Amino acid sequence: MEGPAGATQPPAAPSAPLPRGAAPVGTVHSLRSLGQGSLLSLIGQIFLVGALFGVRVLMVRDLSTASWSALVIALAFVGLVGAFGALGLQQAVARQLAHTVETRRRRDLVVNSLLLSLPAAGIASAAMLLAARPLAPYLGGAAIVPALEFFAGYLAVTTVSGLLAAFFQGNEDVIPNTLFNQVLNPALALIFLVIFLQEGLGLTGALLAYLLSALAALVGLLVYTLSPRGRPWNHPLDPRRVQGQDYPTDTPAALLKFSLPLAVVAIATATVGTADTLILGALSPDPLNAVAAYGAVLPMARLVGLGAASLGYIMLPVASHLHRVGDMEELRRSYTTITKWILLVSLPFFLLFFFLPTPSLALVIGAKVSNPTYAQAPLLLQVTVLGMFLATLTGPASAVLIGLGKLRLLLYDTVASAVTDVLLSAALVPFVGALGAAIAFASATALLPVLCVTQTQLLERIHPFHSVLVRPLLSVTVPVGALLLWISYMGWPLPGLWLPGLFGVLFLGYLVAIPATRSLETEDGHLLDMFESYLGRRLDLIRRLGSRFVGRTREGP
């Protein structure tokens, strides 16, 4: 993440660098100029996903089926209600602070957002608290009541934390969000969960772990906000760096009017992965077991999207800058480069989870994989990871669409994805249970990026599917997929503990396939510049090795 001082300058080129392109001035640095801010955010995102996955693994292993099912539904419910309660203010404030120079107006923007957010968070939390008992019969029974009541307080805390972090995001200072929301919060949740589960607190311990870690993150953000380094209203950006339209948000009503379209996007985004879970709990013939199995699978499926969630952050500022200067060719190259490296993490997860679902589940949920409750889990895992991988193949398509300034199209695409999730879940869950929810999730997850990349292709002929992406992808996927399929078909025993080693082999295999298929380009060198900027040292050996495998520069779209 990037502090107030902005991105650091990249180090000088080493003696045997990857070749530089001939892009116009101002675009050649589109990737390497991002510096520490992007890398810190990337690291924070990876830590967040990894820690939350660890939390889910501990809970699914140690909690009873009833407690785990109740927790899954409560987390889905709080995610959806939280999107309504946030009112889109976090995104609105971050965007507006980035376009506002005058200190008085910046202070008004912060105050107005608090005047709107605090009551909204309170109302959403109170509504969740009051609705817990009436909703329980429709969401799996009385076991969910304490979870919903407990998460009512959690919702208010996380909403305020998100808004405080957004103040600094508008200043291009993403250190608070990384430090407190992406690192401290999940790390403490993991530590508290281990302690409370060892003490035999069960569901109560899991709920306490979530709440205490969220409170700690909020306290940290409050202290940071009031410290001399904080006070985001007193640290405007250099006026020469402020670009874009300055929307009128001097009153709470004006700010709310600006934030509501962003709220629609946030709500639609939150719907995918939560609505299907809630509908599963409400309409499934066997809600307790169906939600337990589905809840165990979803965190694993989301690991396939880890690379996209991490490196996708980098694409947005790159796309915005290159569109602003009119260099569409450099944007095409950068899009393909980032997508290519996203697959470095996503492809091994997909190959293992899709072709070896039962051993993968055994590694995560242990002996419970043989429990009748999880009999359908391998199929659910295959369906959900397929949808996530199809979405990952498009790379950060939504970030490119935003960079092109097509926010309205993104709104339509996001709503279409959410509606797909709801309609397919409602249509399929009563008949096929958790499999219907999995199909709805996979379809909705893949639909959004597919729509986005289709539109970027139609608008500017921009897509990531060039030979430098396809060659290493096919060179690994085809032989490895065939081998794993044969192993699965023959029923050969494969202990779960082998899977981390196999993941490492697949990771290295794809890493080697990139230079071996002559799929390195100039933009890969710019991305390496960015990492060197953060490390503060030159990676001469990597550059010398990479320079021997750089393929010909692509021409045209």
Concatenated DSSP letters of 420-447: HHHHHHHHHHHHHTHHHHHHHHHHHHHH
Query: How many domains is the chain built from?
Result: 1
pLDDT, tens digit (0-9, with 9 covering 90-100), for 252-286: 888 888 888 888 888 998 998 899 999 998 898 88
Instruction: Tell me which residue of 290, 312, 432 sits closest to 372, measured CA to CA.
Output: 290
For residue 24, the model assigns a pLDDT of: 41
- Residue 107 in this model has a pLDDT that exceeds 70: yes
CB-count burial class (<10 Å; 0-12, 13-18, 19+) for 537:
exposed
Contact between residue 287 and residue 281 where contact means Cβ atoms under 8 Å apart: yes
Q: Is the confidence at residue 353, as pLDDT, over 70?
A: yes
Report the C-alpha gap between 250 and 106 in whole angstroms.
Answer: 9
Longest dimension (CA), the chain: 70
Which pTM was predicted? 0.84
For residues 117 and 86, the answer to whether their CB atoms sit within 8 Å is yes
Rounded to an integer, what is the distance from CA 321 to the centroid of its chain? 22
Domain residue limits at 178 = 63-261
Q: pLDDT higher for 31 or 465?
A: 465
Residue 551, pLDDT > 70, answer no
| 189 found inside a domain | yes
Rg of the Cα atoms in the chain: 23
- Work out the pLDDT band at 234, boundaries 50, 70, 90: low
pLDDT digits (tens, 9 = 90+) for 91-100: 788 777 767 7
pLDDT band, residue 3 (cuts 50/70/90): very low
Distance CA 342, CA 335 (A): 11
Q: What is the mean pLDDT of residues 427-442?
A: 96
* Average pLDDT estimate for 63-68: 90
427 compared with 133, residue with greater pLDDT: 427
Q: Is there a contact between 317 and 14 (Cβ–Cβ < 8 Å)?
A: no
> Is the residue at 434 inside a domain?
no
pLDDT per position as a tens digit, 402-426: 888 888 898 899 999 999 999 999 9
Domain-embedded: residue 4 = no
Nearest to 292 by CA among 501, 173, 409, 433: 433
In a domain, 502, yes or no: no
The b-or-e profile of 178-199 (16+ CB within 10 A means b, else e) is bbbbbbbbbbbbbebbbebbee
CB 392 within 8 A of CB 473: no
User: Could you give the CA distance from residue 267 to residue 306 in angstroms, rounded to a whole number?
Assistant: 21
Compute the distance between CA of residue 216 and CA of residue 221 in angstroms, rounded to an integer. Answer: 9
- Please indicate whether residue 331 or residue 347 has the higher confidence score (pLDDT): 347
pLDDT over 70 (residue 525): no
Q: Is residue 506 part of a domain?
A: no
Place of tokens 């295999």: 509
pLDDT in tens, 6-62: 333 333 333 333 333 334 434 344 555 555 556 676 677 778 888 888 888 889 989
- Residue 84 in domain: yes
**Beta-bridge partner residues of 550:** 520
Is the separation of the CB atoms in 266 and 83 below 8 Å?
Answer: yes
Torsion over CA: 454, 461, 327, 343 (sign): positive
> pLDDT digit string (tens) for 376-400?
999 999 999 999 999 999 988 988 8
- Over residues 486-509, the mean pLDDT reads 81
HSE-up of residue 112 (Cα within 13 Å, Cβ side): 23
Separation of alpha carbons 523 and 467, rounded Å: 15
Q: Is residue 89 part of a domain?
A: yes
Domain membership of residue 203 (yes or no) is: yes
Task: Work out the angle at residue 531's Cα, subtended by the Cα atoms of residues 527 and 535, and round it to the nearest 5 degrees.
Answer: 165
Beta bridge mates, 520 = 550
pLDDT in tens, 186-223: 999 999 999 999 988 889 999 999 999 999 999 999 99
